[in-house]
Amino acid sequence: MITKLRVNEVNSDPSVPTADVIVVDFDEMGEDELQIFAEVRAKAPETPLILVSEELTPDAMRQLFKYNVQDWLRKPIDDEGLLSAIRSTVRSSRTTTNQVNAVISCVGGAGATTLAINMADIASRRLAKKDPNIALVDLDFSTGNCSYVLNMVSTFNLGSVASAPRRVDSEFVSVIQQQHDSGFYLYSFKRPDLNTELNGYELILRLLDVVSLEHTTLFLDIPYYATEWRNDVLSAVNTVTLVSEVNLPAIKHTLDQIEQIKELRGEDFPIHVVFNKHSGRLFGQRISSRRIKELLEDTPFTYLPADHSLIGEATDRGVLPSDISTRAQFLKKLTGYMKSANMMGAPAK
């Protein structure tokens, strides 16, 4: 719902404190405009704020920090630019109340799906006494592989609501979600044409918006290939785990991913690289840890040991590796990584 207010209605309108986002439209930034900012912040101190205006002076730009303005759009702007800014701002604000962890394959077959599934399982088991509300969201609609690995293939046709994304709400989510015996909820659908569907972009982002409100901790299995919604999703997550392998082509793709994410989220955003299926060698590696550190620079990385027997058996049986062995080195290493990356619960406010 959109509420349009005049300047003199800010103090009296009850919708201001409960708004998801506030958009302020000014021609210039003077004393009167600063007073409006002060009134808005008095009524809604934490609500995301977007300013639309003509070009601002350096002093006026500094005032935006004072009033915690999340985004500034220079006139003229088009409808799509404004909507994109609103979506991004609202999603970013929601990450202060829940934990959204992106798990991304840098190359096909790196094992991001395996990691995302086991991360959801580990979080569920570790937080069991805290009554966790954890979800695994499979965003690779070309295969919906999370559901196949877990033997929980959904019969729901997600494309049936593609023409009406507004139907996606909390009630809809409660119908399509599945809960694993481990405790986490699963959203995984094989719908290859969804990425090219006319309303696929809006449907996927709306689904994520609603799911993120229903769960305190989310793990997103994001495919390696480009999608229309990819940057919108990455603009709202708390952490990114890049899943790669120790070979030069994979490392080059990993560096490309790091560069793209830093351009989107800034240099300080937490990115961690996990080199999966790693096999130790008695006389050293083809590509040493020192060389990898030189290539990745300040981006931290972790090795996860190859355990083809455990992962293969779990996949064939449709069970979790922890159902076979909770002491597996793969799970111990992954648990240690999750603890170090603070993935076990909602971020501190």
pLDDT at position 42 over 70 = yes
Q: Which has more confidence, 13 or 100?
A: 100
* Predicted local distance difference test score (pLDDT) of residue 349: 40
- More confidently predicted of 131 and 12: 12
pLDDT of residue 100: 93
The whole-number pLDDT of residue 1 equals 57
- List, as one string, the DSSP characters of 16-70: TTT-S-EEEE-SS--HHHHHHHHHHHHH-SSS-EEEEES---HHHHHHHHHTT--
141/157 Cα distance (integer angstroms): 12
pLDDT at 9 over 90: no
Measure the CA dihedral 289/292/293/298, to 10°: -140
Are residues 133 and 41 located together in one domain of the fold?
no
Domain boundary among 63, 93, 123: 93
Is residue 2 assigned to a domain?
no
Q: Domain holding 85: CATH number?
A: 3.40.50.2300
- Mean pLDDT along residues 107-129: 92
Q: What is the DSSP letter of 159?
A: G
Shared domain for 192 and 257, answered yes or no, is yes
Q: Does residue 88 sit in the same domain as residue 159?
A: no
The residue among 81 and 182 whose pLDDT is bigger is 182
Cross-strand pairs, 161: none
Please state, rounded to an integer, the average pLDDT across all residues of the chain: 86
Establish if 349 belongs to a structural domain. Answer: no
Q: What is the pLDDT of residues 188-222, one digit of tens each?
A: 999 988 878 878 888 998 899 889 888 989 999 99
Q: DSSP of 228-275, one letter per residue?
A: TTHHHHHTT-SEEEEEE-SSHHHHHHHHHHHHHHHHHH-TTS-EEEEE
CA angle 118, 337, 135 (to 5 degrees): 35
**Both 283 and 156 in a single domain?**
yes
Residue 119 has pLDDT above 70, yes or no: yes
Tell me if 239 is assigned to some domain: yes
Distances (CA, A) of 91 to 88, 120, 341: 5, 21, 21
Final residue of a domain: which of 60, 93, 126? 93
pLDDT average, residue stretch 313-331? 95
Using DSSP, state whether 222 is helix, strand or coil. Answer: strand
Q: Kindly state whether residues 105 and 223 are assigned to the same domain.
A: yes
**288 in a domain, yes or no?**
yes
Which has the closest alpha carbon to 83: 262, 232, 265, 269?
Answer: 232
Q: What CATH number should be reported for the domain holding residue 240?
A: 3.40.50.300
Instruction: Read off the pLDDT of residues 167-186 as tens digits, 9 standing for 90 and up.
Output: 888 889 999 999 999 999 99
pLDDT at 337: 95
The pair of structure tokens assigned to 37 is 């900012």
Q: Out of 57-66, 215-224, 230-239, 307-316, which region has the weakest mean confidence (pLDDT)?
A: 57-66
193-218 in b/e form (b: 16+ CB < 10 A) is: ebbebebbbbbbbbbbbbbbeebbbb
Q: Quickly state the pLDDT bin for 348 (edges 50, 70, 90).
A: very low
- The answer as to whether 131 is a domain residue is yes
Burial 302-312 (b: 16+ CB within 10 A, else e): bbbbbbeebbe
Q: Provide mean pLDDT across the span 104-126.
A: 94
What Cα–Cα distance (Å) separates residue 214 from each residue in 171, 176, 209, 218? 10, 13, 9, 10
The pLDDT of residue 169 is 86
More confident residue, 240 or 170: 240
Residue in the structure block whose two tokens are 């049936």: 160
Domain hosting residue 43, numbered range = 7-93
Find the distance separating the first CA and the last CA of the chain, reported in whole Å: 27
* Domain limit, last residue, from 93, 126, 153: 93
Residue 1 covered by a domain: no
3-state secondary structure of 291: helix
If one counts the domains in the chain, the total is 2
Higher pLDDT, 237 or 59: 237
114 and 250 share one domain: yes
